[in-house]
Amino acid sequence: MPPADKSASTFKLGGRIVNRLGYGAMQLAGPRVFGPPKDRDSAVGVLRAAVASGVNHIDTSDYYGPHVTNQIIHEALHPYPEGLVIVTKVGARRGPDGSWHPAFSRAELTQAVHDNLRHLGVEALDVVNLRSMFDIHHPAEGSLEAPLTALADLKRQGLVRHIGLSNVTRAQIAQGRQICAIDCVQNQYNLVQRADDALIDELAREGIAYVPFFPLGGFTPLQSSTLTEVAGRLGATPMQVALAWLLRRSANILLIPGTSSAAHLRENLSAGALELPATELSALNGIAA
Ligand SMILES: NC(=O)c1ccc[n+]([C@@H]2O[C@H](COP(=O)([O-])OP(=O)(O)OC[C@H]3O[C@@H](n4cnc5c(N)ncnc54)[C@H](OP(=O)(O)O)[C@@H]3O)[C@@H](O)[C@H]2O)c1
């Protein structure tokens, strides 16, 4: 496949064309992604503002809250506008104290798909990522054959339209592609965390979307004097520059920055218009080194 244009504003996901600037809904649950948010009306408002501004790709999971984030998405946006792609993920469950545990059995995955369907209020899920949990924080080797086969069966039943993988290694992606079509990969990646550099380029050649989680650093927001200096010279914020850099990094990168703030949402969505001159790009490329 010829390399796609990095300045393009769209890419394919879930069998549709989506804007590369999407929205990650994890920040809409309570502290530590557990329980309800402080201000539910504001969470509903952020989602509506995102869609009104052209976002047609929302990332979520029923284990955010748990259930809370999907219920807020339903309240804010159902019936969903034509063309909106909602991507969810399965493979984990929450303990009563908010802890995260693997939930990889066929029964747990089936339950998770049905929970997502019910809370989002849809008959089929656009895209479901299987979230690997061999190591909760990083991709770690381990067979995904059994859980992915179970998910592929749910796809055959018509409950899932497309399947993706999250927190995975190159070997797991190769294994997954033997079992079913893999629509997207969602791993941690940003200006500073660049372990997936080669993988992104490989997926781009295959036309597979790469959706970095923690694009702004997640729970530890990105901090770099170079980033701050570049942002100052461009009259932008560091977060806008971090997002603009990701858009320029590869045409198959789709962004899902998370925010509970309408002001941050506006700031993040305008990153698509930010030009990065070659000198600034090379300064930014040096941050991870
Ligand atoms: N597959 C996985 O394992 C996995 C793991 C984690 C996340 N995700 C997905 O990835 C999405 C993105 O990750 P994330 O939300 O954890 O991290 P992120 O997008 O890297 O950063 C979110 C953090 O940055 C802050 N923020 C956002 N915009 C900002 C701005 N313009 N200026 C200053 N601060 C800003 C947010 O606070 P405010 O709310 O105050 O703006 C929040 O604390 C999630 O929503 C989720 O859908 C997937």
Question: What does the pLDDT look like over 261-276, one tens digit per residue?
Answer: 999 999 999 999 999 9
Asked if the model's pLDDT at residue 2 lies above 90, the reply is no
Whether 90 contacts 112, CB under 8 Å: yes
According to the model, what pLDDT value does residue 4 have?
A: 67
Q: Which domains does the chain have, with CATH numbers?
A: 10-218+251-258 (3.20.20.100)
Asked if the model's pLDDT at residue 3 lies above 90, the reply is no
Ligand 1 center from residue 186 Cα (angstroms): 14
**Residue 83 — pLDDT band, cuts 50, 70, 90?**
very high
Which of the listed residues 26, 33, 241 should we mutate to test ligand 1's pocket, taking the one with most ligand atoms within 8 A of CB?
26
Ligand 1 center from residue 222 Cα (angstroms): 11
- Is 80 labeled as catalytic in the residue annotation? no
Distances (CA, A) of 239 to 37, 80, 85, 120: 23, 29, 24, 30
Alpha helices in 66-214, H assignment, sequence order:
68-77, 106-120, 145-156, 170-179, 197-206
**Residue 282 — pLDDT band, cuts 50, 70, 90?**
very high
| 159-213 pLDDT tens trace | 999 999 999 999 999 999 999 999 999 999 999 999 999 999 999 999 999 999 9
Average pLDDT over residues 52-63: 98
**Residue 1 — pLDDT band, cuts 50, 70, 90?**
low
Asked if the model's pLDDT at residue 255 lies above 60, the reply is yes
The residue nearest atom 47 of ligand 1, judged by CA position, is 24
**Residue 7 — pLDDT band, cuts 50, 70, 90?**
confident
According to the model, what pLDDT value does residue 8 have?
A: 82
Q: Which of 23, 63, 64, 189 is catalytic?
A: 64
Cα(87)–Cα(163) distance, rounded to whole angstroms?
9
**Residue 289 — pLDDT band, cuts 50, 70, 90?**
confident
Cα(255)–Cα(215) distance, rounded to whole angstroms?
7
Asked if the model's pLDDT at residue 36 lies above 60, the reply is yes
Cα(255)–Cα(57) distance, rounded to whole angstroms?
9
Phi, psi at residue 14, to the nearest 5°?
60, 35
- Ligand 1 binding pocket (C-beta < 6 A) is 24-27, 59, 89, 131, 166-167, 186, 213-218, 221, 239, 256-261, 264, 267-268
Distance of CA 30 to the CA centre of its chain: 19
